[in-house]
């Protein structure tokens, strides 16, 4: 599903940015990292309601919240950089998906769209649940 998500976001970015493949792929990797961060934060928010995890994080090394979030975002972007971007892996993934049958692509696109929608819904529910 990650490959289809990359390909879907890549095509969308390519339509917006233009024919710059490198830039479209780089933005796609950043957006995939954002989706992953949003999902992890959603789970964190559900646990925070009962276990007060924000207080534990603040006491961890006496670091400010913004620094923790920044480090977390850099770690995720680095992970997805090596999974999807390093040594032009994005080109291999996109070519692989374009060579698949329409039935396989349809199934993959449905899973990618479902992931995007469910990520937003879960995040909103987590925010409402945590701050209510």
Helix axes 102-131, 2-17, angle to 10 degrees: 90
CB 29 within 8 A of CB 6: yes
Helix axes 65-80, 21-51, angle to 10 degrees: 130
From first to last of the 132 residues of the chain, give the pLDDT tens digit: 789 999 999 988 888 888 788 898 999 999 999 999 899 888 888 887 777 766 666 665 555 666 777 788 889 999 999 999 999 999 999 999 988 988 888 999 999 999 999 999 999 999 898 887
**What does pTM read for this prediction?**
0.80
Domain ranges of the chain: 2-131
First to last CA, the chain: 33
């Amino acid at each position: 599903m990650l490959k289809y998500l990359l390909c879907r976001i890549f095509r969308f970015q390519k339509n917006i940015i233009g024919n710059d493949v490198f830039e479209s792929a780089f933005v796609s990797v950043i957006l995939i990292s954002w989706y992953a961060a949003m999902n992890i934060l959603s789970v964190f928010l559900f646990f925070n309601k009962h276990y007060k995890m924000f207080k534990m994080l603040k006491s961890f090394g006496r670091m400010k919240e913004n620094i923790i979030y920044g480090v977390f975002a850099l770690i995720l972007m680095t992970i997805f950089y090596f999974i999807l971007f390093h040594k032009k892996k994005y080109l291999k993934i996109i070519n692989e998906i374009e060579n698949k049958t329409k039935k396989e692509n349809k199934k993959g696109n449905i899973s990618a769209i479902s992931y995007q929608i469910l990520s937003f819904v879960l995040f909103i529910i987590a925010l409402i649940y945590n701050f209510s």
